[in-house]
Structure 1
Amino acid sequence: MPKGMQKTSWLLYGFAVFFISLFGYIYYTYETTRSEIMANIDSKLLNAAVSVKHILGDDYHNTVNAGLPISSSTYKEKSLALSEYAKQMQLAYVYAMVLRDDKVYFSASSYTQKDQNTGRVTQFLDAYPEATELNKEAFYSTEPVFEISQDQWGYFKSIFVTFVDDNGQTYITGADITISDLNQQLQQSVTRAMVTSSFFFFIALLIAGLYFLQLKRSLSTDARTGFANHVALEYHIKKTTKHRMELAIIIINELEDISSFYGSEVSDKVMANILRYFQSRIPRDGGIYRLTTNKIALLRTHTDEHNIDEVINAFNNAIPALKEPFIYVSLSAGVATGNKLLLIENAHIALQQAKLNNQRLIRYENVFKQVEEQFKSNVFLAKEVKEAFDNNRIVPYFQAIYNNQSKAVDHYQCLARMVSSTGRIHAPDYFMMVLKRSRMDGPLRRTIFTRCIEQFRKTNVRWSINITAQDILDPSLSEFFELQLRRYPQPHNIIFQFHERDAIAYFGEIKTFISTLKNKGAQVFINEFGAGFSNLPHIRKLEIDGLKLDKGLVSQIHTNKDNYLFIENLVKYAQQLKLDVIAEQVDNKQIADALASAGVTLMQGSHFAPPTPYIH
């Protein structure tokens, strides 16, 4: 055979092998990626549907299936929470359904911006005429049911998960992802496969090797902070010869709010500072990883001591994580020690318990014991709280706010206390969690406000009370406050205090309610200012009358120069805006003197007077 023809034959053979390999690789990659995508989507839909139950709460469907009405405000609140969750999870819809007389109705549903624009937001107990037989069969299924169907909202892949309420009635929760989104992900996988395969076959071995080395590094590194990520953690645990290790998963509680308020650039700076903080303090055998937007992990290969616990507990919430802007954060952590195969899962379980109990750190080995003890404590405490309400043992205590210049009481803050059957006095930290879970925080606020009205009605004494965003979102409670203000002879003596975080999260609702309060003559302060975002120009738009500094800032003003400078500059700015500034938890003379030096005149704390059941 002539040499030219021989070269051509080898060339054609080479191209044939190339194209066969190329298409084989594309097909393999597509099928592998498709399986992974479908598995991830199924898992994502399942997690979302289960989360709907927790977002709505157990009592929600107890009420619905009992035939009792759900208030408009409660439904709107749940719809908003579901919509935000669906948006966060990048799903089309999440919802809950009930079956009545062989017809399916929505008991709760998320909505999209398009739904709002077109007036197609699903309302409470809206019928769902497009329900398929598979949809109805899901009410009787013991396993999650997947379905691909089309209705007036679009073409979706859906999941239905069956639950049973306390009365034995079934309902389902569901989640949808649009087929177009699914197809787009599959198309992207094909495109990536073609590009990657072409690159692999046409680039020299050395360049390809360098490329894949860099690719591996980028996959295992968080691009925004430069620290190792969850891929690196999983790889390290998988490849290590150590079978017993210690892992802490830490969540920065405020980071998502910081990101939504200031943007991802600021939140990444906060995260980078926290990562560097722990990097400088963990033992040499430890590693540090950024797992997600707001989670980090600390890994140790030695488990002889609880060094990780000490490092985490030493983190000081009162020191700003970022100074420009001034931002404080708090942490919750779950720690697990033991078999590497269960390490990540167990640490996550411990973290969930820490967040639930509002604790800094919980170890996995203590979780189940704490849960059992917590259940018993909750049952006992719920009974004790109910008895306190029934026997008028929910009472106000009064703590004086002193003017350090005039040496006189400026006003009193009204604080809730529960008197036990044995006469012991409990502060809200003791019973507030049970109150919220029992939905009795509204009656608590109503009771304390009524008792304070009775206490001060015939005096010229100024007094303050804390209320929350949930209070004003409750129509009956907000109307109660307005009615009492109309009846009170001197409403200008009443000060309502909102938490700074509520003012940010529910800015529009609180702004409207503040206008109502001020029209009635009352004053409004922002409580615990400096605990979160410390954005005074934004807060000032609420037309407030004053600020109460966060106790964490105040308690370290005499030992922390940054805290002192922050408070000093804040006071000067507040004076220009004609805002009062109050410092709480002033517990000794050193703090009081430092505050006075920084320009603060109104102070509250045990250094001046503790809360008492009477006023001087």
Structure 2
Amino acid sequence: MEALGTGTKVAKKRSITLVLFIIFAQAAIFIGIGYGFVKSYMLDNLNEKNRQVRNVYTSFLQHHIKMHFIEEATEIAGNKAVSAALHQKDIKALRSSALRQFSTIITKDNFVEDASFYDSNGHLVTRLLGEEHFGELNHPSLEMPRIALSKGEPVFGIESGKDGVFHRTVVPIYHEGRIVGAFEVVRSIGFVSSKIKEIINLDNALFLRIDKVVNPGESRIVVGNYYLNDYTIDYFSELSAAENINTLSTIIPINENYHAVTPSMEIKNFKGETIGRIVIAHRFHSEVMRFRNFIIISFVVIAAVALLAWFILNRNFSAMLRSIDHGRKLLYKKHYTHHLTNLPNRNALLKDTTGSTEHSLILYNIDSFKIINDIYGIEAGDYIIKAFSEHLREKTAELVEKSATGIGYTVYHLDRDEFVVLFNRETGFENLLVQDTIYFFENHVFNFNGVEINISVSAGISQIGPGLLQSAGKALKKARDARLDFMVYTTSMEDSREHLRNMELYSKVRDAVDEGRFVPYFQPIYDNNRGMITKYECLIRMISRDGSVISPGAFLPFIKKTKLYPKLTRIMVDSCIEKFRHKDVEFSINFGVEDILNEELVDYIENKLMSERINATMVFELLESEKVDTYSTVQTFIRRMKALGCKIAVDDFGTGYSNFEHLLRLDLDYLKIDGSLVRSVCTDEVSYKLVKTIANFASDINVKTVAEFVSEESIFRTIRELGINYSQGYYISAPRVDAEEASDYSPSREAIA
């Protein structure tokens, strides 16, 4: 025991050490990722700021400012008094005429250093602000004025001088049609820094190459092969000569604020030669401080967590192991247990039957459970499921106990309305058990909040493994097709002929698509109030090669599961739009959930309706019996189509969308009452009351109603008495290939009266 205790202590210490190591390792990774993210964020921002600087320099300074500077200089050069005085070499008159306009420029622009006039040979005539303010050597050459005189057009650019780098704008002066001289405005390069800072909110400096500068002043700060010409923050004035401005890129505190400093772009003179570079400093203080605080807080939190973990593990390691074990059990339960009934789920069944052939299995399914959900609500459905599971367990236990076989079994809850009883071997009394269970539920009444609900149950039995669940499912389907309570699976149920029939059907449909043998038929819809046909429902038909017409019931249920189905929907949309393009009527097509969920198909219809002009109104009949997992998808589709002027109808009202709460969530125009209700409206009191309730409800929410399957005069009279807005069925007209021909049919005058 002592050795065991020592081993436990060693294992405990190792576990504690391992946990602490993992905590600190994760912390280091987390901080590293955070640092990488912040650094990446800063670099991305610097790249964006560099792009903005280039845009400002090239677009604003090189184009907008260029035009502005030239325009200002041209305005003075174009003054007739100025050009006349220059032509006559009357210096006094020249200065007097120019200064009146030049003083306005100086008032608005603090960066203007001076202005000069040159004669037609490029010799200096006079400076407006005087020799003492702007020395002769500020102009290393007279190249720019002479270029402007020789070309007869303005010259604009940067040139370096003894006291720095200046921006020069030179424009020629004309007198009586010929050039008599040139006018120049000189600005300090500081306006570049000012504009960048003003527009982009950046601190920046301009560095000039030493080998391009004429006699640089001793007060200039030399940095590598550059000297500092202009700057806006103190940091740039403190650079040492050892630093290379071409590679300068760092994050540093400047005036107690963190900045990211990096070279941006080169400065070129008017000849296109590189004479300098712009270096920007972008304030990243808040980001750096946040990251610094993040690091500090992270270390504090991690240290606290580590200490707490060490304390907990050191004091009560077994409690932690129990907690982990409890969590593992919870995860196991979530994975292998149905959340509603706490019975083992499908995952558990698959695990329990994997690799075994000794079981027998009963698959139960509550018939028409979706209708229970829709009529009574989801809460009632949940109540039925839980009550059913309890009764199924009790009934199975009772019958197994009576058998006195001692056989083991488990009850599983697979999906919403599917349950399985799995025996650990073949019992020999599965048929009797199923009969008794089904009989019990058929005679049992569930009471939910005072509402009595009856259910019926179907079942499939499989005693042949492996694949028990699949086999039982086939037996269940066969039982329902044969209208039996249950069936036992046999190998004869494996019908390869059905597969061959499906392959043959697919081939026929594919050929019909390729050969254009799918056409719409049109069934008119009669307006009960106006006494005329105002709408048509478009119904797909396949034409065989011998000319016979094949109804959709012969091919559509299978084709809906294949990739051919969206093609059929497109054919119907294209054909019907073309048919009714120039008619002022409404036409409707059936649109299932498969269509709504096909984003490519919905986009195709949307683009077609947007690009083509049609007079008719398109109505989408949502197939009401289809399974709908989420109404948000349906609502999105309705909004998109209504934005294009289309209308929405719910078809076969009486199943999937029949829950009135759900109906209110859909922005409908028409509600088509299911034919099963309409057919029996004259003979069945329940059907009559349901149709009347639906008609009144639809009227209250301003939705028009359409009665389908109006097959005889008595039905037509009854639905008109109930206030149904429209009638559709063989009493009005059968579907026909020609809409105009179908519109010739109408009820008898006696029925209308």
Could you tell me the TM-score, scaled by structure 2's length? 0.41
Could you tell me the TM-score, scaled by structure 1's length? 0.49
Q: Which has the larger radius of gyration?
A: 2
